[in-house]
Structure 1
Amino acid sequence: MKVNIGLVKGMIKMKWYKSVEFWIGILITMAFFELFFIPTYDIMWWGALASTIVGMILVLNVIGKLKV
């Protein structure tokens, strides 16, 4: 599989606020974080936990690519 190096470099240089991955992560995290306030450990609570982790991984992945 051939990877276009210019495309990869362009993705790394992309500003964090222009990254689709960052905003998807923010939306997932915000949408499901509120479910933590449900006072039960039902399937929705565990779903909220998993979704928040996935959202934060996406956000932190973008932050990790920043060149400060």
Structure 2
Amino acid sequence: MMSGRDQEPSRYYVGIDVGTGSVRAALVDQRGLLLAFAEQPIKKWEPQFNHHEQSSEDIWAACCLVTKEVVQGIDAH
């Protein structure tokens, strides 16, 4: 029987999807089981007809936020 220290550590994977209207993140384990999901809207505006803009800083902030949300509470050991 293996002790807790002898066991292979759990592996986690984070996937991030940046779309037009939101950033989404998912946390899965080594078996592909979905453990957590988060979504954050991103701002977009149309300063003139048929001209759309988004802020790269807003997109990056949303990426950081959803990543923090999905990894919160996992045991990294």
User: Is TM > 0.5 for Structure 1 vs Structure 2?
Assistant: no
Higher normalized strand content (fraction of residues):
2
Higher normalized helix content (fraction of residues):
1
Structure with more contact order per residue of length (Cα contacts < 8 Å, sep ≥ 6): 1
TM-score under structure 2 normalisation? 0.30
Give the structure with higher Rg (CA): 2
